[in-house]
Amino acid sequence: RAKQTGKGVACFFDADMDQAVRARRQMENDLRHAVARRQLFLEYQPLVDVRDNRTIGYEALLRWRHPDRGLVGPNVFVPIAEESGSIIQIGEWVLEEACSEAVRWNEPLPVSVNISPVQFLLPNLFDRIAGILQRTGLEPRRLELEITEAVLMHNREDVLAMLVRLRLLGVRIVMDDFGTGHSSLSNLQTFPFDKLKIDCSFTAALDRDPAAQAIIRAIIALGHSLNLPVVTEGVETERQKQIIINEGCLQIQGFLSGRPGLAPSAAGALSPANGTLLRAEA
Ligand code: C2E
Ligand code: MG
Ligand code: MG
Ligand code: MG
């Protein structure tokens, strides 16, 4: 399509750029309607206690079934929704959906929900969460909000005040992806967390990089000395599991113990005997 002139390359480049911009704008626009068109859904991944392999909670993970693009993962569309603001409406849907799902479980396990920094900085977040808990009837102690270090970079006083209010309500706060952001150890002193999650990049690096094990060891020791339970994410192999058990971590989340899957309340998904998720493989 580009003309065979000196300007051709530039024209071609512009056309590509134009297309990329248009595709992105289309996605932004589609995301604005995704909730109303019922294209979003949640999968649930178990957190497991390594001592007895029992499921001790689930993390809700957002998926988008796009009519043309098929299944789109949150790493692709959440950043776009954050930039365009639709994450606010989407995040509210996620909270409401996850809480109404959790009240249907036959065991009162906690449900974890990821909260975007954009969503977290809304002044009325507290009222929205309190309202959702009231409407759905979920006990506040069963809701865990996962935030990343990115949240802690803005308005630290406001963030701290919000975390304190949420905890007084009974909601738990989890530090997600610990060690990957602009972390400062003083964050753990300043902000009242209930749990630390070690990012899956450290777990993956266990296979090739001895430093990863040293970092995991240090995070586990740090968490435990602050009386915080520590979860290792992204555990895919028996070997990784053994290493993190040897380092003293008691909770894991990863493909080895369970992939994200069907809502636990879906028929037959949650076996009442041991709470492990049984799911049909895709
Ligand atoms: P995250 O909060 O760290 O969630 C864990 C991610 O690790 C999930 O990716 C999960 O599927 C993946 N994972 C779990 N076990 C394994 C494993 O053994 N190996 C590997 N390679 N990966 C594993 P997913 O579902 O693609 O989500 C990616 C990120 O998108 C999440 O990271 C979270 O930050 C964000 N996200 C997901 N749902 C929501 C949501 O409802 N709202 C917001 N704001 N962000 C969300
Ligand atoms: Mg998470
Ligand atoms: Mg997260
Ligand atoms: Mg994480």
Q: What is the pLDDT of residues 118-143, one digit of tens each?
A: 999 898 999 999 999 999 999 999 99
Ligand lying closest to the C-alpha of residue 178: 4
Query: To test ligand 1's pocket by mutation, which of 114, 132, 180, 206 has the most ligand atoms within 8 angstroms of CB?
Result: 114
Q: Is 67 helix (H, G, I), strand (E, B) or coil?
A: coil
Give the pLDDT band of residue 13 (cuts 50, 70, 90): low
Two structure tokens written together for 197: 């999650």
Question: How far is Cα 275 from Cα 260, in angstroms, rounded to an integer?
Answer: 15
How much is the average pLDDT of 213-240? 96
| CA 24 vs CA 21, 31, 162, 252: distances in Å | 5, 10, 33, 36
Phi, psi of 91 (to 5 degrees): -60, -35
Backbone φ and ψ for 64, nearest 5 degrees, come out as -125, 115
pLDDT of amino acid 181 = 80
Task: Tell me, using a 6 A CB cutoff, whether residue 263 lines ligand 1.
Answer: no
| Protein residue closest via CA to atom 17 of ligand 1 | 234
Residue nearest to atom 2 of ligand 1 (CA): 114
CA 61 to ligand 1 centroid distance, Å: 6
Distance 202 CA to ligand 1 centre (A): 15
Q: Using CA positions, which residue lies closest to atom 43 of ligand 1? A: 114
SS3 content of the chain, % helix, strand, coil (to 5): 45, 20, 35
If you take atom 25 of ligand 1, which residue's CA is the nearest one?
61
Q: How far is the CA of 172 from the CAs of 146, 151, 153, 165, 255, in angstroms?
A: 9, 16, 20, 11, 24
Tens digits of per-residue pLDDT, 32-66?
999 999 999 999 999 999 999 999 999 999 999 99
Residue 16 confidence (pLDDT): 80
User: Which SS3 state, helix, strand or coil, does residue 232 take?
Assistant: strand
The pTM (predicted TM-score) of the whole model is 0.91
- Given this model, what pLDDT does residue 20 score? 86
Probe target for ligand 1 pocket from 42, 63, 78, 256, with the most ligand atoms within 8 Å of CB: 78
Asked if 103 and 135 count as a contact pair (C-beta separation under 8 A), the reply is no
